[in-house]
Each structure stands twice: as structure tokens, then as C-alpha cells.
Amino acid sequence: MLYLHDVWVNWFEGEENGYNVCPFHEWRKSDGIEILDQVPVLYIDSMTYQYLENDLQDIPKSMLDEIHKRAYIRKNQERKPLDYASIVTDGTSIMVFDTMGYHIPMRKSRLIPRQERLVLELIEGRQPQSYKIKGKEQKEYHILSLPPQQMQGLTRRERQLKQLLMIALDQLEAGECLEEVRYWLTEWAPDQYCEIKEMSFDQAWGILYHEVSDGWSKRHENFCKQIVKGHSYYENIWEKEQEENPTKSLRP
């Protein structure tokens, strides 16, 4: 069994999509950084790695048995084992997960660059392990869990705002108010006003979703600011993202 010690982690809890498990350069001062005393390292095949990184399904039992209580965290000078935690890599990408006592990767983190290099050095000359995944379900993407290509190239802040916008659009669809969806489509595309006022709810919402879910720009950001206005919970998320910047003070 391979191990890494004094591992810096920045947990992202309940994230089924790997694009939301932020790399080190996107970590923030407000994030809760932990240091794990010891973590096992598994070199695994790409299919198993993608399964762990981009889903919240059951981890193969053979893997759980292999890593059971092999990871430790130090709290108040006491060394405590974690039930199931491990660093996994397919030789290209690297992630650490902790099940929090369950059998799914409940929280995930990237590593700091220096420790990523150490992982790749540890597996040099070794062959990846394969695991049998039972009951694997096909991953389905939707408005609240966009496919990776629709998040590609975005910063952490942009991804957060885009997800906020998708939540607002989801609420708009659930409301089934024709005048409201026509209004927001007109805000997005004012030059199409004449066509929009003749559209059905499904037509208007479909066009709005299709256009807004594609890419990210200042136009998207301004539209997001407009559509969340008056909703205090969403406005708080918006304001937080205006204040946040990637931390410059963390030094591994």
C-alpha cells in the first residue's frame, strides 16, 4: 500500500461533478483547509476514476476493504482513523475522497501541486488496478447538473454564478407562468420582442434555456443579477461571489 503524509485537503461535500471539485489555484481564504496525517494512494483504471470523480454512487467493495481505516487525521494531538478515505489517480488526474462513514465519495478534494507531483512519482512504473463496479447507473445530466462541456473553461466564480442562474431558470420553469417566461426571454433577447409575445410557454422557456446554458459572458452575468433580484437567498449567493477571490495567501 502506498501512502502520502501531511496531505492538504479542501473538501467539497456532496459534489457529483468533478468540475466543482476546485483545483488548488481556485481555493479561497474562506475555505476550510484540513491536513490529513496519512492517506493511502490508489493507482486505478480511468473508468473507475471517472466513476468516483463524477458521481455519488457506491464505491466498489474491494476498494473499501483495501482502504478501511488506513487514512488518519490528527485532532487535538490525537490520531484518529477515517473509515474510508483515499487518494486516487488514473495517472493523469488526481483526487482525494472521504466517505464520512458511508459507501459513497461524500466529499472530494484536489491536492496541492507539490503533493500531486509526489503521487505521480509514487505510481511511476506501476500498473493501475481495476475494480468491478456493481449496479452502475448511467450518469444523467440536467439543468441542475450541467454536462462538463457546458462548464469547460469557466472559473470557480463563473461556475457558481452559472449554477445559480440554472437554479433560477429551474424555478421559472416550475412556475409555468407564460408572461413571466416571456418577460425574461425579452430581457435576454430584446430584439426578438415581436416573436416572443407569440410564443407558448414551452417555446419561450426552451429557447431561453438553450441560449443561456451555452457558455458564459458579461451578458450572462448581468442577466443572472437581474433574475435573482428580490430573492434574498439567491441574492446572498450572488453577493458572496462578488466578494470572493482565489486565495493568494496559502503556501504549501
Task: Give the predicted TM-score (pTM) of the model.
Answer: 0.90
* Element (DSSP H or E) covering residue 68: strand 68-75
Q: Which three cell numbers stand for residue 6?
A: 501531511
Burial of 58 (0-12, 13-18, 19+ CB in 10 A): middle
At residue 80, φ and ψ (nearest 5 deg) are -115, 135
Q: What is the pLDDT of residues 41-79, one digit of tens each?
A: 999 999 999 999 999 999 999 999 999 999 999 888 899
pLDDT value of residue 138: 84
**What is the spatial distance between Cα 45 and Cα 104, in angstroms, rounded to a whole number?**
18
Instruction: Find the DSSP H helices in the chain.
Output: 46-53, 61-67, 113-122, 156-175, 178-188, 193-196, 201-212, 218-228, 232-243
First to last CA, the chain: 25
Over residues 89-94, the mean pLDDT reads: 97
Q: Are 45 and 7 in contact (CB under 8 A)?
A: no
Tens digit of pLDDT for each residue in 111-158? 999 999 999 999 999 999 999 998 778 888 999 999 999 999 999 999
If you count DSSP H runs as helices and E runs as strands, how many of each does the chain have, helices first? 9, 7
CA atoms within 13 A on the CB side of 54: 18
